[in-house]
Structure 1
Amino acid sequence: MSASHLQKFQQLKETLLACIEQSRIYSDPAQLLAYGTDASFYRLIPKMVLRLNNVHEVIYTLKSCQALNVACTFRAAGTSLSGQAVSDSVLITLSDDWRGHEIIDNGQQIKLQPGVIGADANKYLQPFGRKIGPDPASINTCKIGGIAANNASGMCCGVAQNSYRTVESMKLVFADGTQLDTANNDSVASFKVNHKSLIEGIEQLSQQVSNDDTLSALIKHKYRLKNTTGYSLNALVDYQDPIDVIEHLMIGSEGTLGFISEITYNTVIEHKHKASALIVFNDIETACKVVSALAHLPVSAVEMMDGRAMRSIANKPGMPDFIKSLDLEVGTLLIESRANDLDSLEQQCNTVMETIQKYTVSESITFTSDTVVVETLWAIRKGLFPAVGAVREVGTTVIIEDVAFPVEHLAAGVRDLQQLFDRFNYTEAIIFGHALDGNLHFVFTQGFESPDEVKRYGDFMDELTQLVAVKHLGSLKAEHGTGRNMAPYVELEWGKAGYALMQQIKRLFDPTGLLNPGVIINEDKKAHIHNLKPMPQADDLVDRCIECGFCEPVCPSRTLTLSPRQRIVLYREIKRSERAGETAYSESLAKTFQYQGIDTCAATGLCADRCPVGINTGDLVKKLRTAKYQQFTPIARWTANHFSTTNKLLNLGLKVNQVAQKVLGAERINKVSQGVAQLSAHKIQRWSPQIPTANRYQLKATGAGSSLKNSSPIVSVSESISDSPIAPISDSTIKASFNPNLAKKVVYLASCASRSMGQQADNPEQRSLPEVTTSLLIKAGFEIIVPDGINELCCGQPHDSKGFKEVAKLKSQQLEAALWKASEQGKWPVLFDTSPCAKRSIEQFSQPMEILEPSQFVLNYLLEHLTISPLQETIMLHITCSTRRQALDKQMLQLAQRCASEVIVPEHIECCGWAGDKGFTTPELNTAALLPLKSQVPAHCTRGYSNSRTCEIGLSKHSGIAYQSILYLVDEVSV
């Protein structure tokens, strides 16, 4: 960067600091690389990344950029595929403060800020039986700002329910910082006066189109198809009022005309009942004829897959057997029909099948509403993209293109595409798509490491665009947006008149050309093969990553440091620079990555559940931690071999804390700890009143021939803290003889955390978790088997999270042996009182034991023996990441709802970020992960529940109410 450019960006930063906090202005090279990456195969590294909180900051930023002639680009979730969300100047991203929404007229409309995730919008509308029209495949990640700015659609959306057709009004910010609220008459009137030239320009363009019959006909033809190539020229045909035209031109404008700060949608019906069918035909031609026949029937989605697509998923678990025998010529349709009542649905399905039976069907699974079967069928469609991504060579990227043919050209278009793939040696390419709209996606792998590979891609694109736009009069982009990838071909599709119209639109809205330059309008005819993203080899654990960003919403560190995608981007660059001998650069990146990438990763694996190819970035982080902590392996081994002693030391520390808190008082301890933390550069963390007391209740092994049973008194707690602050732990557990006539037995494994930790000092409920669990089990009439050597047992999670895999494995094996013996070789179920320990043990154990976490065990074994009287109050429920990863979140919520009149599961908290001991060592991770929590706790709510003792410490701290195990709740409401 030249000195003048450097000075300009420094001046911009100084200007922005008057309005935006330093912490939200990023200029570190490593962060710029990581934050500047999106899902496309293009790389531009921004000079500055901003994270803005509100529209006032957007306006200030735009005015500042205009004053200094600096280009800027807006980004929502960064899931776009065509290069429209990358920048080599200023990249503007949105903080989580842009999540506002308002339901209007019983769900008939919804007002949304651009930071709302699409799936969340539908969640808000679900009680009203409504949803937003657009339904892109990335809806669980992409945000409303991106959905509207790209006119994203999806499988059921078609052209009738996309953003263009369902927008009611918008709030906009233009390049000069001016605002327009299209629903506000005063705002509209003011805008018409202050932006008279823009209004007049729009009116002239509308008249120009009206006077040009050829151009008008072309526009009407193009938009009977799905089309996101270029600007939404149909706005000039469909609307007369210039404000309506402006509003609809903003849809699909990809941030090149202005910023959408709010959008109000007219919603669509979300039918209660659905049924799906999978029909295989001998060839594509027959499948396409059926598509045409289905066009006017009651179907909501018709997904077509070619033979290569079906072969790519044939060997995946759960697939129908017949898929393996299909040849490459077949055409497959996945059909869905929806209705609000079952009778109507059945009639619709019968009508569809009557039509299909007129054609020769090779294989089929007829319409079903069975949830398991339906999920299996749609797993075929959803598994296509990962199937290609999983087998690509290291160093290549996955390219997803989408085009649209007139439906009458669909079969010929598929055949032409298949031949084109063969000509250019894309033998792995598959075709699938939304057949009712003639919208096809095709996926193939491409490397950009050599000039020959770049040329192959460029030549392929030249022929592809001719095939689609010229031969078949189709759309070069149906729903993924023009971006940089198709910008050189906009004129090819639209002709000189259409392209000139788009150039005029750009100049009217953005006369200085500073909004997202190079996107949609780009005079560089080779723009699509410039600035290509390298995908260097880094590690087998993450090399399959395509940087789509689907992982980001569930990552607890995404607002603090890096998301999983960003960790992989940065790690790839570190490995590339190391191989290139760029020592100073790689060392600088590695220094940043240590904290940003390694230290602040919770390593929970939630990212793997969202990743199309199942990448667990936490596994990479644990591997890297192994190298970092290798020197401490002897200490790790000592703690593992002397686990009881380690826990006693922890317990002693908690007792000392109790005494200090009682003697000195919480306020004085807080001041002292704050000073100590500052002196240690925060390596010693601040004290918190939520730090638990010491657990004074001890479980004692019952042995193979004995157990705790119903006839025994409830185990007592040792003397109170006031009598003996640091007295030794009581040994008061009662043993009972084994009764072979009783069949209700359970092996109880109290986690090391619950064995050591009691409750926070000010909690009215001071019983420890093992005491409560014991009480509940005895109440339900269960005999309790406590394994031998309980105080030495641990699942290995504390060691595994630090990368001590061998030590963790030894602890897991030791635990498995003890539980196998205690359960009499798997005869009795095993209850873990914390979910993370249960999850790890299920994954690590080889013996056939039934391992259950608290909610699962209560639902499966206890409820039938208990009488529940629900609390008539509101409670908070935190569903831990381990519970989510075991797909037990619905069960945990179900149990909570059985026990309380109202249960609130706070939004946007998938993981609390405590992550074993991160809450102690890296408390800022816990703070960032739980930032949305306190505002969601109602004033009348006084308690929360979870199923991980350590997580509950952070939850209590950041919510303002005490969190405990859900077993406390069940024990309180049951007899």
Structure 2
Amino acid sequence: MDLIDDLRAALGGDRVHARAIDRHARARDASHYLLVPQVAAVAEDAGAVARALGVASRHGTPVTFRSGGTSLSGQASGSGLLLDTRRGFRRVEVLDAGARVRVQPGATVRAVNARLAPFGRALGPDPASEAACTIGGVIANNSSGMAAGVEHNSYRTLESLTVVLASGTVVDTAAPGARDRLRSAEPGLVAALERLRDRVRADPASVAEIRERFAMKNTMGYSLDAFCDFTDPLDLLVHLLVGSEGTLGFVAEAVFRTVSVQPCAATGLLVLDSVERAAAALPALVGTGAAALELMDATSLRVARRDPGAPAAVRGFDIDQHAAILLEYRADDESSLADRVAAAGVVLDALPAVVPVELTRVPAERAALWSVRKGLYAAVAGARPPGTTALLEDVVVPVERLADTCRELAALLSAHGYVDPVIFGHAKDGNLHFMVTEEIGDATDPAALDRLAAFTEDLVTLVLRQGGNLKAEHGTGRAMAPFVERQYSAGLVAVLREVKRAFDPAGILNPGVVLTDDPRAHLADLKPVDHVDAEVDRCVECGYCEPVCPSRDLTLTPRQRIVVRRAQARAAAEGDEALAAELAEQFRYDGVDTCAADGMCATACPVRIDTGALVKRLRAEDRGGVGRRAWRTAAAHWDTVTAAAGTGLDAAARVPAPAVQAPNRAARSLLGDDVVPLWSPDLPGGGRGRSGTRGGTGVPGDVAGVFLPSCQGAMFAPGEPGGDGVQAATAALCEAAGVGLVVPAGLDGLCCGTPWSSKGYADGHAVMAERVLAAVDAARAAARERTGADVPVVVDASSCSEGVAAIMAAARAAGDPRAADVVDALSFVVRQVLPRLTVDDGRRVASVTLHPTCSSVKAGTDGDLHTLARAVARTVHVPVDWACCGFAGDRGMLHPELTAAATAAEAAEVVQLAAAEHASSNRACEIAMTRATGRTYRHLLEVAAQVVGPRARR
């Protein structure tokens, strides 16, 4: 039996992925290395990992564990079996009122902290990539972060773990009798650990060297401090696995001791005229008790300013060679915080700041400052010159030597010809990150490779001369594996190698990572530079987008879509037409058909890449003439289309599913899947139309807006007894408050344009956009005659609000005077209607579970969603596992498997919450969540109309 067949027998056929797209999509992580695995597989529990390791051992195949893929030093890529442990290991269990937490390696740091937040607790490690990095990587790299230092890193806060060893032995170190079972199952490993412990402790020089190295952040080699800190072999096993980068075993579960979150904080930016001056100020700043001191050089600040949403603090000065330090002070109460800030002010006032330092306590302002720092690596890397690769290094020196190190590092970079390098990092700990760009990855450029090799040699010499460590928190990986022998004495290097042999005698776990015999290993397998699509070429493959992608557990993530496009282009350039064709064919479903194109990836991307824009273009390029004509015709006769769709759904609801699906499938085969969606028996009926709103005239009262109800509400009306949907609810609320709305003529023929833009039908979208602009302009003109003022367009579905806003933005950019402001109906009600109404507390619902939509998140209207929910319900829930539902207009009908995958985690949580009401702000999302949970979701405005009395004016 060959490797793949053996894996399928051990794990199940649907867990083994050997297609070209599966292997190439997983080949790249956030580092500058590229190794294409022979096969990828998904393991969902410790037993599956053990079985996979057994197969790999029999075939002599190396194994690399992959979870978040945010590692920067090459430890998450391998050429053998890549074992995906992100999809199946996401359980989080809060223990002891948050004092401890049991976590699995696929959960992100942000997801864990969200569950700890109600208890005022958090994980100790706080890496900047917390939105995307997973617990598996946090443990494997001994992550620390911005405030953790060496006191609250993974090593110091880990209590116990469940590990799968290379032999397949599974050890729960917290289970009763675990020590005896370990000694029985792994006598050779236990004996080796005891022997190495005694050898290290018997040599005072080794102990002194270890203590010196680990007094600072240190992720070079293995956690040798375990031999000084612990005696029992079980404790040694636990702490040696921390920072082992998947080379000693797999951590299937861990229990962490958490840290208290100080609720009061003040954050600001100290700007000085150079990196050296900023570094020189650090000892004094550390003395002020700052929780975080984050260094950013001039290049970092320039890149930060490119973001239109960058906070004012990074804009109020001219950048020359300036540097900034992001400061944060924390305390348990406001009084203590005030005392701390006042004491720090004495030091800050004495520093030659370029602009006055303002420490803000406003949460939104603090979050904006932190977003600059947390997204800095990817933002700077995304701004790199075309054709270059970003190389990020991570070193640490004693804080008192940081200024000298910065000065020497700048000289070193200049001497090697690196232009505009970027320096930033966790200055409080003497931890520097710096990035250079290089034209590497192709064998045709040996000069660039030689320059990188020479620079790395000089860097190693510099850092070690300053008494530092070559890796502080990003792990040794492949990037620094050849230099482990330079950092440690020969005796400790021998200990490191014996540790590896004791845990992994066959050498199958992530070979080449942490330890290597190849002095040029850091220069091998470098990632080529492939620019293929203008929409996404700035991507640095950091992986921040992956947790928010609806298709992440079904097919591909945004990063993987980009990676596959690059792999396809590389294959074509190298003449491998067979591979290029195979990737193109597999990409059709995995990359295009199952992309929600919801734009959520842009909200998580530090450089705001919307991979959905690429997918929309690819869809447009792939459209046939029949489809283009059909959708252009649909735009011109949308009233007929929506009426027919609604009537058809009403009829379908009364007819057995097979009778409807047969002609429906025939139509799909003629016009294409994206023209005629597959009818589903759980879709609600429709056919009400929209022109009937108050006789086609709108809502009586003082006119405050042009009402443009969504056509999805007409096609997919809820159909509950007595319920007329969000259109009627909006009208009822406005009428109760005396707020008037006018309705455009020909309403049933109008649409937000999203069906055309998402499918790539530009011609049809242009037709519909013109119809919307003309109709809305006429309605606004009529309103202007009555009120003497311009009024906004009010849309009652968040995705449609986004679509109409896009039409208006394009018109405004083209200088079209018909462009109007657009406001979502929910926000309109909160701002214009709710203040005029009295909510009877006796009619408020007991609880409501909300599903924010991707459109409301992007538009920033979630605050209004919560405001209205708190007004109409005593308790408001938003699931921690909330995510875009993936319905995406018609994706939920064309590919219901996308919605099922996207909603699985949230649905499980919703069922546990057992709220009285379930609400959202978009009809398609309500259908998706109703389908996923078995609970009836309505628009929150419908719930509000039920709670607020019809004559409740103040």
Please tell me the TM-score bracket, short chain as reference: over 0.9
Specify the alignment match of 1:5 in structure 2. none
Specify the alignment match of 1:381 in structure 2. 373
Tell me whether 334-343 or 192-201 shows the greater mean CA deviation.
192-201
Number of residue equivalences: 925
Write the mapping of 1:551-700 to structure 2, written as runs, cut at 5 A.
551-631=545-625, 632-660=627-655, 664=656, 687-696=679-688, 698-700=690-692
Specify which of 956, 960, 964 is matched with residue 938 of structure 2.
Answer: 964
Distance 1:672 1:310 in 2: 60
Instruction: Return the offset for 1:864.
Output: 1.4
Quick one: structure 1 residues 260 and 322, their matched pair in 2 at CA, closer, same or farther if it must change by over 3 Å?
A: closer
- Contact 2:62/2:81 (8 A) holds in 1: yes
| SS of residue in 2 equivalent to 1:336 | strand
Instruction: Return the offset for 1:633.
Output: 2.0
Distance 1:67 1:52 in 2: 18
Quick one: structure 1 residues 304 and 755, their matched pair in 2 at CA, closer, same or farther if it must change by over 3 Å?
A: same
Specify the alignment match of 1:938 in structure 2. 911
Quick one: structure 1 residues 404 and 514, their matched pair in 2 at CA, closer, same or farther if it must change by over 3 Å?
A: same
Specify the alignment match of 1:346 in structure 2. 338
Instruction: Return the offset for 1:95.
Output: 4.8
- Contact 1:388/1:444 (8 A) holds in 2: no
Return the TM-score normalized by structure 1.
0.90
Instruction: Return the offset for 1:331.
Output: 4.0
Tell me whether 377-386 or 172-181 shows the greater mean CA deviation.
377-386
Instruction: Return the offset for 1:398.
Output: 1.6
- Contact 2:280/2:402 (8 A) holds in 1: no
**Residues 916-935 of structure 1, C-alpha deviation per residue, up to 9 Å, x if partnerless?**
11122222212221222442
Distance 2:26 2:298 in 1: 38
Specify which of 867, 890, 899 is matched with residue 863 of structure 2.
Answer: 890
Write the mapping of 1:138-157 to structure 2, written as runs, cut at 5 A.
138-157=129-148
Specify the alignment match of 1:746 in structure 2. 705
Letter in 2 for 1:759: P
- Contact 1:164/1:248 (8 A) holds in 2: yes
- Contact 1:30/1:570 (8 A) holds in 2: yes
- Contact 1:749/1:832 (8 A) holds in 2: yes
Quick one: structure 1 residues 522 and 669, their matched pair in 2 at CA, closer, same or farther if it must change by over 3 Å?
A: same
| SS of residue in 2 equivalent to 1:484 | coil
Specify the alignment match of 1:487 in structure 2. 481
Distance 1:260 1:918 in 2: 37
Specify the alignment match of 2:822 in structure 1. 851
Write the mapping of 1:391-790 to structure 2, written as runs, cut at 5 A.
391-448=383-440, 449=442, 450-469=445-464, 471-631=465-625, 632-660=627-655, 664=656, 687-696=679-688, 698-700=690-692, 715=694, 733=695, 735=697, 743-759=702-718, 763-790=720-747
- Contact 1:468/1:474 (8 A) holds in 2: yes
Tell me whether 898-907 or 913-922 shows the greater mean CA deviation.
898-907
Distance 2:102 2:909 in 1: 20
**Residues 529-588 of structure 1, C-alpha deviation per residue, up to 9 Å, x if partnerless?**
111111212011111110111100111111111100000011112223334443332222
Letter in 2 for 1:15: D
Specify the alignment match of 1:356 in structure 2. 348
| SS of residue in 2 equivalent to 1:111 | strand
Distance 2:890 2:326 in 1: 47
**Residues 694-749 of structure 1, C-alpha deviation per residue, up to 9 Å, x if partnerless?**
2335425xxxxxxx8xxxxxx5xxxxxxxxxxxxxxxxx264898xxx53533211
Write the mapping of 1:123-142 to structure 2, written as runs, cut at 5 A.
123-142=114-133
Distance 1:829 1:391 in 2: 37
Distance 1:927 1:837 in 2: 23
Tell me whether 628-637 or 151-160 shows the greater mean CA deviation.
628-637
Specify the alignment match of 1:833 in structure 2. 796
Specify the alignment match of 2:780 in structure 1. 823
- Contact 2:294/2:427 (8 A) holds in 1: yes
Return the TM-score normalized by structure 2.
0.92
Specify the alignment match of 2:95 in structure 1. 104
1:32 aligns with 2:23: yes
Instruction: Return the offset for 1:251.
Output: 0.6
Quick one: structure 1 residues 66 and 386, their matched pair in 2 at CA, closer, same or farther if it must change by over 3 Å?
A: closer
Distance 1:651 1:418 in 2: 67
Instruction: Return the offset for 1:422.
Output: 1.1
| SS of residue in 1 equivalent to 2:224 | coil
Specify the alignment match of 2:952 in structure 1. none
**Residues 456-511 of structure 1, C-alpha deviation per residue, up to 9 Å, x if partnerless?**
22221111111112x21211111101111110111111132221111010011111
Give unmatched runs, 5+ long, in structure 2.
813-817, 950-954
Specify the alignment match of 1:199 in structure 2. 190
Specify the alignment match of 1:262 in structure 2. 253
| SS of residue in 1 equivalent to 2:938 | strand
**Residues 248-304 of structure 1, C-alpha deviation per residue, up to 9 Å, x if partnerless?**
111100011111111111111111111012222344444333211232332100112
| SS of residue in 2 equivalent to 1:861 | helix
Letter in 2 for 1:745: A
| SS of residue in 1 equivalent to 2:67 | coil
Specify the alignment match of 1:4 in structure 2. none
Instruction: Return the offset for 1:385.
Output: 2.8
Tell me whether 65-74 or 899-908 shows the greater mean CA deviation.
899-908
Quick one: structure 1 residues 616 and 331, their matched pair in 2 at CA, closer, same or farther if it must change by over 3 Å?
A: closer
Distance 2:259 2:583 in 1: 48
Distance 1:694 1:555 in 2: 30
Specify the alignment match of 1:371 in structure 2. 363
- Contact 1:424/1:460 (8 A) holds in 2: yes
Specify the alignment match of 1:949 in structure 2. 923
1:158 aligns with 2:149: yes
- Contact 2:248/2:503 (8 A) holds in 1: yes
Distance 2:185 2:612 in 1: 53
Letter in 1 for 2:898: L
Tell me whether 782-791 or 229-238 shows the greater mean CA deviation.
782-791
Give unmatched runs, 5+ long, in structure 1.
1-9, 701-707, 709-714, 716-732
Distance 2:629 2:159 in 1: 65
Distance 1:942 1:387 in 2: 43
**Residues 61-86 of structure 1, C-alpha deviation per residue, up to 9 Å, x if partnerless?**
12222233222111111110111011
Specify the alignment match of 1:905 in structure 2. 878
1:121 aligns with 2:112: yes
Distance 1:411 1:647 in 2: 68
1:52 aligns with 2:43: yes
**Residues 155-183 of structure 1, C-alpha deviation per residue, up to 9 Å, x if partnerless?**
11111100011111111111111122222
Distance 1:329 1:539 in 2: 34
| SS of residue in 2 equivalent to 1:932 | helix
Distance 2:823 2:653 in 1: 33
- Contact 2:11/2:48 (8 A) holds in 1: yes
Distance 2:919 2:770 in 1: 31
1:172 aligns with 2:163: yes
Distance 1:743 1:466 in 2: 75
Specify the alignment match of 1:11 in structure 2. 2
Q: Percent identity?
A: 36
1:276 aligns with 2:267: yes
**Residues 96-143 of structure 1, C-alpha deviation per residue, up to 9 Å, x if partnerless?**
332222222221111111111101111111111111000001101111
Distance 1:270 1:647 in 2: 52
Distance 1:324 1:900 in 2: 43
Distance 1:909 1:616 in 2: 20
Quick one: structure 1 residues 33 and 291, their matched pair in 2 at CA, closer, same or farther if it must change by over 3 Å?
A: same
Tell me whether 875-884 or 405-414 shows the greater mean CA deviation.
875-884
